[in-house]
Structures are given as C-alpha cells and as structure tokens.
Amino acid sequence: MTLTTHASRTCSVAALALVFACSAQAQSSQSSTMPAGSSGSFSLIPYATNGYVGLNVGKPDWDVPCVGLFECSESNASYNVYTGGMFNPYLGAELGYVNFGRFERAGGRTRAHGLNLSVVGQLPLGGLTLFAKAGAIYGETKVTASPLSGLATGKDRGWERSYGLGASFNFTPQSAVVLEWNRYDLNFVGSGRNDINTTSLGYVHRF
C-alpha cells in the first residue's frame, strides 16, 4: 500500500466524513428504537458495544535528528480521527488515522502518518474517565533533503508499536472532552526508528 501526500489528505477527509456519517446514522437508529437518555450498543468495532468517534488535535514532538547546519523545525499541529468500542466496561479497542504533519530539516521535509490500532483500558470515575492505550501503528514516512545534506531520502512503511494515556471529562453520557499523550514508533530512511510524541485535546461523541 502506497500512501502519497495527496492520498493521505483524501484519506483523512474521507475518514472524517465516514466517522460523522456513522455517528448520525447511529443516533437516528437509536432515537427510533430507544428511549431518550438510554445507552446505545452501536459500534464500528466488531464484537464491541458502546461505540464512539473522536477527533483530537495536538502538538507533535519529533525525536528525529537535525542534520548539519541546516535549519530544523517541527510542524505546529497533528491530528487523529478515530472510532472505538468496548468489550466490557473496562476493556475496548480503537482504530484511527494519525497525521503528524511535517518536520523541516536537511533542506527538505520529513512527513509521517499512519493507521493506528490499539487496545484500550479505562477506569470510569463518574464525570472523569482515566484510560491507557497500547497497540501498533502501520505508518508511512517520507524524507526529502538537499543533496548537500548527505541525508538519505525516500519512503519507509511498516508496523511499529504505539501507546498512550489520558483522561476523559464527561459532560453528558454522549459527549466528552479528552486530554491525552501518545507515543508512536516510526521508521525513517536515513535515521532508522524514531519516536513521535503527541499531546492533544479532542472531542468524543458516544453512540
């Protein structure tokens, strides 16, 4: 599977449209079969119930080396669009698309994005829910650089680990604001395996 920059933008827009279309469909289905205030059982994750969709926007922290005397700067934002479901009140699964933006270095740009699959453990505490995630990301990275930098260029892709933790602030049974930190391992041509950490704030809608 080859993911170009144009394809990644198309994928992210399509994912957003799919997530919120499914949310609207689920709400419509529940409103016709369930009383107001009842908890639904719809989920896009197989064998899971109590599904949700979310969108997080945050600040990436690239653990990627700068090169020589060339300027080096990180992108200002990353985003993650995702959906999940619970197997029981404490254990679930989540699937999402993560885009880390770009990292300016070596007279060129380094980009990264990928699909992330995680097992989610949570501890409900009334209006607050604590959670942790562990899983894997199928990531793609692309490195371009000035010929004067001596840095190898090209694409790399494959499975690597990911994990994170955070808190959900529940305003209603259906809506919450989340604050979370995540770490993703990715492979880069010319520098090997490096981490990208994200600290993000997002909104979650539960079905």
3-class secondary structure per residue, the chain: CCCCHHHHHHHHHHHHHHHHHHHHHHHHHHHHHCCCCCCCCCCCCCCCEEEEEEEEEEEEEECCCCCCCCCCEECCCEEEEEEEEEEECCEEEEEEEEEEEEEEECCEEEEEEEEEEEEEEEEEECCEEEEEEEEEEEEEEEECCCHHHCCCCEEEEEEEEEEEEEEEEECCCCEEEEEEEEEEEEEECCCEEEEEEEEEEEEEEEC
Task: Catalogue all structural domains in the chain, each as residue range(s) with its CATH number.
Answer: 5-206 (2.40.160.20)
- Confidence grade of residue 133 (pLDDT, cut at 50, 70, 90): very high
Is the pLDDT reported for residue 185 higher than 70? yes
Q: Kindly state the average pLDDT of the residues 104-125.
A: 96
The model's pLDDT over 2-42, given as tens digits with 9 standing for 90+, comes to: 444 444 444 444 444 444 444 444 443 333 322 233 345 78
Contacts of 36 (CB under 8 A, 6+ apart): none
Average pLDDT, the chain: 85
Share of the chain above pLDDT 70, in %: 81
Please name the amino acid found at residue 205: H
How many other β-carbons are positioned within 10 Å of the β-carbon of residue 23?
20
**pTM more than 0.85:** no
Q: What pLDDT does residue 40 have? A: 54
- Confidence grade of residue 177 (pLDDT, cut at 50, 70, 90): very high
Which is higher by pLDDT, 9 or 113?
Answer: 113
Is the pLDDT reported for residue 85 higher than 60? yes
How many other β-carbons are positioned within 10 Å of the β-carbon of residue 6?
8
- Confidence grade of residue 152 (pLDDT, cut at 50, 70, 90): very high
Q: Kindly state the average pLDDT of the residues 141-168.
A: 96
The model's pLDDT over 52-67, given as tens digits with 9 standing for 90+, comes to: 999 999 999 999 999 8
Q: Kindly state the average pLDDT of the residues 157-161.
A: 97
Q: What pLDDT does residue 179 have? A: 98
